[in-house]
Amino acid sequence: MAKKSVVDYVRAQIQKGYSASAIRDVMLKYGYSSNDINEALDEIYHPTIRHEIHLSKTTIMAIALIFILSIGTFSFFYFKSSPSSKLLDVNLKPVDTTANPGEAISFVKELSNLGSSKRFDVVVKQEILDKNFKVLTEKTETRAIETFGSTPTEMIVPSDAKAGDYTLRLIVEYDGKKAIATLPVKITESAAAKEEISQETIPVKETEKIDCSDNNACTEDIEADGKCSYKKIVPCCGNIICEENENCASDCKKETVDVPSNPTVTEETPEDTNSLAKTDPNKAMQQCSKMQVPDNKDTCIGDVAESQADKSYCTQIINPKIKDLCYYNVAKASKDKEICSLIGADAKKDSCYMHFAIDLKDYSVCSLIVQQQQKDSCYTLKQIYEISRT
């Protein structure tokens, strides 16, 4: 590009009447290069023509408005045609996750809609799994979810379930997707299972003389390889129980009617203790005292305590677990939450308090619960109850 000072000088000399060749000779003499001179002459004789378009402010504003409307229209149809996504979050909170076979575990399931704002249906499946992920029991339902849902739920543990650690699994299916949450569950040994005589083995030295006698006429004493084991004999005469196909006069006494004023009544069997405890607790306790197996006797006393809703019977029970169960059942039967404090095991005590929170809506027990998870669940139920009343 030609220098402006050179172009101005050349243009001034041309206007004075000098020819281009004369101007070139003079400028070459004073040190200007041929290139500078040629570019200046070319700029003067062949000027660059620039075309400029001048727009008014009104025209510029109209163009800007059309552009903005175009972008808005495109965005409207684009986002309107895009379906809203569905995304669920699920959670499980324990209420009472320790139970005997045949009893119920309780928990709170929470479903949160993190995606679509529209209401849609989901399939909710609850399963109890063993350590090998085998399904012990399950329950399936269909629910409609819009924003957030919290539901207290119970599941019955099968009566043939074995004691041990299990997993509660919640699966929510929607639009080909799955949301999963889990919670540990513990199934304890029922009192009925303890009635079986344990196969006790006593290891001894080979040189010792083994005496496997347990002084129980209703067990078969077995010695093998230096160890003792015992097999229950059924029916057995002398155990004060009239068993099936038994012809034992002392166990299966018949009622005599020779002296109407003082009849001889047959001894009650353990199966009759529950009905007898309601009408004649003293006689039921006599029946319990005749039982030879300690756990059977404790369970019998617990039945009397529950039938009479009287905690004083529980003090006579030896087995700590059966005693805790006795206080638990008496607290429920008498609707007296103070009895829960007499339970020794924290888990069973918390379960007792949770009964009053779940079944009787008495949330004053929440502060008495020891285990933090159970306490949090109690307060959650309290909040749900208070919300439902507003």
pLDDT tens sequence across 312-345: 999 999 999 999 999 999 999 999 999 999 999 9
CA-to-CA separations, 11 to 6, 21, 208, in angstroms, rounded: 9, 13, 138
What secondary structure does DSSP assign to 111-149, as a single string? EEE-S-SS-EEEEEEEEEE-TT--EEEEEEEEEEESSEE
Burial class (CB in 10 A: 0-12, 13-18, 19+), 44: middle
Q: Which of 305, 292, 388 has the alpha carbon at shortest distance from 342?
A: 305
CATH for 88-190? 2.60.40.10
Q: What CA–CA distance (Å, rounded) separates 5 from 30?
A: 15
Question: What are the backbone angles phi and psi of residue 157, rounded to the nearest 5°?
Answer: -75, 130
All structural domains of the chain with their residue ranges: 7-45, 53-82, 88-190
What local confidence, expressed as pLDDT, does residue 363 receive? 93
First to last CA, the chain: 85
What local confidence, expressed as pLDDT, does residue 271 receive? 52
Q: 349 is written with which tokens?
A: 């005590």
Asked if residues 344 and 324 have their Cβ atoms less than 8 Å apart, the reply is: yes
What local confidence, expressed as pLDDT, does residue 193 receive? 57
Cis peptide before 101 (omega within 30 of 0): no
What local confidence, expressed as pLDDT, does residue 57 receive? 72
Q: Centre a 10 Å sphere on the Cβ of residue 291 and count the other Cβ atoms it contains.
A: 19
**What is the model's pTM?**
0.36
In Å, how far from its chain's centre is CA 183?
Answer: 4
Q: What CA–CA distance (Å, rounded) separates 270 from 289?
A: 11
Segments in the chain below pLDDT 70: 1, 47-56, 74-85, 115-117, 190-209, 213-216, 238-240, 245, 249-251, 253-272
What local confidence, expressed as pLDDT, does residue 388 receive? 81
What local confidence, expressed as pLDDT, does residue 312 receive? 93
3-state secondary structure of 172: strand
What local confidence, expressed as pLDDT, does residue 369 receive? 93
Q: What CA–CA distance (Å, rounded) separates 135 from 137?
A: 6
CA-to-CA separations, 279 to 272, 285, 291, 301, in angstroms, rounded: 11, 12, 20, 15
Q: Which amino acid is at 269?
A: T
Q: Which amino acid is at 339?
A: I
Q: Which amino acid is at 232?
A: K
Q: What CA–CA distance (Å, rounded) separates 54 from 229?
A: 113
Q: Centre a 10 Å sphere on the Cβ of residue 177 and count the other Cβ atoms it contains.
A: 11
